[in-house]
Structure 1
């Protein structure tokens, strides 16, 4: 999605307004980054965390219990990752089995959760910030396949169908604080992370 100059100024103001709001929060941030495959949400989340010392990143790619597990991963966000004792149960893509032990997160540090299904009606009230990352469908497919190649290609249609069902049911894009344009998501993430870090230093 290319942003026209007039839209860009509005977009920038929205970003700064969200930063002002987040800077007023006096507890460890809980942030949700959602979007469809190939939209740029991973780039946004990684850049945000890289610029924000102490922030813990959980990618739902390592939480979904297999290619049919979008809904189960989403439930784990609301029930476990955003609980008072945040934790997650990893999925081993080599053995195709859940791990034996939970991985614990530090509740006193920021937590960023990234992946399709991160934002739902159950998870949103428990987080301080939620973003939906968007990119044109044809471009999303190319980006995802270029990144993950033969591993993702056979599962694209099945995963897309799960995304569509989840979006129809939860309407995550209507629950977020801001919609991030995927073509510059890394730059926005880095800006947000560094701004928050400077204020917290």
Structure 2
């Protein structure tokens, strides 16, 4: 049995798959890249997971696995742009370094083949430089109180002490980069396709 949130993510992912398949790059048989961004608790992970299930063979990269600790939002965004998205835009394999949250240290390097669809989700994804020009750029948002409640419940206390620091970093990044303005699709209470 699925929860209402899972069902909503699945419906949005079904719609998004159709959009991905209609992008010019997909019609030329180049694997698509989908970037999903928005604040903590907006539903990015659920949407990315539902989309991943609908795109067989796609690689899913979660920025939560990349950020180098709670103060590493900008560093994670920079690394994804430099090491994953920029090489992919050039038709080469990209890579990203996993962060070991328990050891608070860098972990293994993961290579992403250029011949597979790619989904990247996380706070700051649309702010990463170097994305392929025809990437589907999704902005997902929700009410601040709803987001906070979802995020703190999801992480079962692990996020509680870090919420304010993370949200401050996120707000600074959002004010300086305005990632929502680069979106091709905006999902909130309503769905809007911008380009």
Measured against the shorter chain, the TM-score band is 0.7 to 0.9
Confirm or deny that 1:148 pairs with 2:151. no
* Structure 2 unaligned spans of 5+: 1-14
Query: Measured at CA, do residues 135 and 17 of structure 1 come closer, stay the same or move farther in structure 2, by a change above 3 Å?
Result: same
Which residue matches 2:188?
181
- Could you list the per-position Cα deviations for residues 2-32 of structure 1 after superposition, in whole angstroms to 9, with x for gaps in the alignment? xxxxxxxxxxx99966653355342011111
Which structure has more relative contact order (CA 8 Å, sep 6+)? It is 1
Between the aligned partners of 2:68 and 2:134, the Cα distance in structure 1 is 23
Which residue matches 1:21?
23
Confirm or deny that 1:54 pairs with 2:54. no
**Equivalence map 1:1-201=2 (5 Å):** 20-21=22-23, 23-82=26-85, 83=87, 84-99=92-107, 101-120=108-127, 122-126=129-133, 128-181=135-188
8 Å Cα contact 1:35/1:132 also seen in 2: yes
Query: Measured at CA, do residues 181 and 18 of structure 1 come closer, stay the same or move farther in structure 2, by a change above 3 Å?
Result: farther
TM-score normalised by L of structure 2 = 0.80
8 Å Cα contact 2:73/2:169 also seen in 1: yes
8 Å Cα contact 1:15/1:178 also seen in 2: no
Between the aligned partners of 2:49 and 2:77, the Cα distance in structure 1 is 19
8 Å Cα contact 2:78/2:128 also seen in 1: no
Shift in Å, 1:33: 0.5
* Structure 1 unaligned spans of 5+: 1-12, 185-201
- SS of corresponding position for 1:156: helix
Query: Measured at CA, do residues 53 and 16 of structure 1 come closer, stay the same or move farther in structure 2, by a change above 3 Å?
Result: closer
- SS of corresponding position for 2:120: strand
- SS of corresponding position for 1:150: coil
Question: Hey, which of these two has a bigger chunk of helix by percent?
Answer: 1
Shift in Å, 1:52: 0.8
Shift in Å, 1:125: 4.9
Query: Measured at CA, do residues 60 and 183 of structure 1 come closer, stay the same or move farther in structure 2, by a change above 3 Å?
Result: farther
TM-score normalised by L of structure 1 = 0.78
- SS of corresponding position for 1:151: coil
- SS of corresponding position for 1:71: helix
Q: CA RMSD in A?
A: 2.4
Question: Hey, which of these two has a bigger chunk of strand by percent?
Answer: 2
